[in-house]
Amino acid sequence: MTQALAPTSRIGILGGGQLGRMLALSAARMGLDVVIFDPEPDCPASRVAAETVTAAYDDLDAVAKFAASVDAVTYEFENVPAATAAAAAEHAPLRPGAKALDVAQDRLTEKTFLNAHGATTVAFRPVSTLAELHTAISELGLPAILKTRRFGYDGKGQAVIREMSDAEEALAAMNGQPAILEAFADFTHELSIVAARGVDGEVRAYPLSENRHSDGILRESLAPAKVSDETTKTALGMATRVLDALEYVGVMGMELFALKDGTLLVNEIAPRVHNTGHWTQDACTVCQFEQHIRAVAGWPLGDPVPHASARMVNLIGHDADAWEDWLKTPNAVLHLYGKRETRDGRKMGHVNVLGSL
């Protein structure tokens, strides 16, 4: 393991929200120092990091200096600008690499890439004009979903088209940004697989979780999901092919739609630790945050085997006001992100409620 960093090395993380914070906590447990880079002063991760750089992502001098001061760089969000990633990668290993960001940042690139590597998605068409949208609708059928190609998250930048007459308004909602029309997936449930790839190419995945969203935001995950071995095998195969094709290092989240006939479609990938993997913090010996840090540090991956089942409940906005009730709930583990202000729709924390396997 000549690529392994020493245990007192410095890990740089682009982004200091809750994912950066939880990565920092796992890294610290293993003796590593974390340096956070975030434009926001007093961001959640800054309060658990050895050092914080407060600068804009497009301040490439600051990015270069940050990367030069650490032994490896990773990130907590998929919208790291390409120039930022490139500036960091010049001075330290960037894990996962720029290719993962490139693929994950554009829904058209992403779906094209996924299908090219045997990770099937819904049918889709690029759309820039109303004429293209009309053609795409006639090819894919209705309902369908129009999405901006870039910078969508938590259901933002999306418009459902149920009738041809919705088309114009949906396109207007894209604000002139390049869009993609996606066929509607008539799924029976939403699943995800969180998998890691080490520097040596080894892939290890957690059991699938079943996820429930509302208003485009994840509310709950149940894990391990009650799915067939066949479903697990298919998901793991798709994740492995994608990880290998991206020469990926770190943890990746892959969201899946399960159709009535058993077909699995990939909704999207996230080149980072994933909200649907939070259950692993308390139900597995090695959680997704530790697994990601192990990969980034060039360390051997851990066993992604749960010792309990878990229901992960996101605390959105004022859900977090019930923190004291959660503290009193047996087998519940409370995670709060230290955000100063409670806002509707804001992820304030989560709870893992453990059960028997």
Among 50, 108, 173, 259, binds a second copy (CB under 8 A): 50
Among 13, 24, 145, 161, binds a second copy (CB under 8 A): 24
201: contact with a second copy by CB under 8 A: no
Binding map of a second copy across residues 278-307, x = CB under 8 A, - = no contact: ----x--xx-------x----xx-xx---x
Residue 97: closest CA among 296, 239, 293: 296
Residues 171, 52: Cα–Cα separation, whole Å: 40
Task: Kindly tell me the burial class for residue 184, based on how many C-beta atoms sit within 10 Å of its own C-beta (0-12, 13-18, 19 or more).
Answer: middle
- Contact stretch for a second copy (CB under 8 A) within 137-145, 151-159, 234-242, 318-326: 318-326
Residue number, 261 or 341, with CB nearest to a second copy: 341
Residue 122: closest CA among 268, 228, 254, 240: 268
Q: Locate 169 and state its tokens.
A: 């308004």
Binding residues for a second copy restricted to 79-118, rule: CB under 8 A? none
The pair phi, psi for residue 225, each rounded to 5°, is: -65, 145
Task: For residue 143, give the amino acid letter.
Answer: P
- How many CA atoms within 13 Å lie on the side-chain side of 287? 24
- Contact stretch for a second copy (CB under 8 A) within 107-115, 173-181, 258-266, 321-329: 321-329
Q: Locate 271 and state its tokens.
A: 């080149």
308: contact with a second copy by CB under 8 A: yes
Residue number, 77 or 323, with CB nearest to a second copy: 323
Q: DSSP for 104-123, please give it.
A: HTBHHHHHHHHHHTT-----
Q: Locate 219 and state its tokens.
A: 């509310």
Q: Locate 42 and state its tokens.
A: 């007093």
Among 14, 19, 23, 49, binds a second copy (CB under 8 A): 49
Among 3, 31, 172, 226, binds a second copy (CB under 8 A): 31
Residue number, 1 or 160, with CB nearest to a second copy: 1
32: contact with a second copy by CB under 8 A: yes
Binding-site size, a second copy (CB under 8 A): 47
Among 48, 67, 242, 249, binds a second copy (CB under 8 A): 48
Specify the residue for token string 């610290």. 28
8: contact with a second copy by CB under 8 A: yes
As measured in angstroms, the least distance from the Cβ of 16 to a second copy is 13
As measured in angstroms, the least distance from the Cβ of 193 to a second copy is 22
Specify the residue for token string 């699943």. 191
Residue 177 sits at the vertex; the CA angle it makes with 175 and 178, to the nearest 5 degrees, is 145
Task: For residue 86, give the amino acid letter.
Answer: A
Residues 92/314, Cβ–Cβ less than 8 Å: no
337: contact with a second copy by CB under 8 A: yes
As measured in angstroms, the least distance from the Cβ of 13 to a second copy is 14
Residues 112/119, Cβ–Cβ less than 8 Å: no
Residues 33, 17: Cα–Cα separation, whole Å: 17
Binding residues for a second copy, per CB under 8 A? 1, 4, 7-8, 21, 24-25, 28-34, 46-50, 282, 285-286, 294, 299-300, 302-303, 307-308, 320, 323-324, 327-328, 330-340, 349, 354
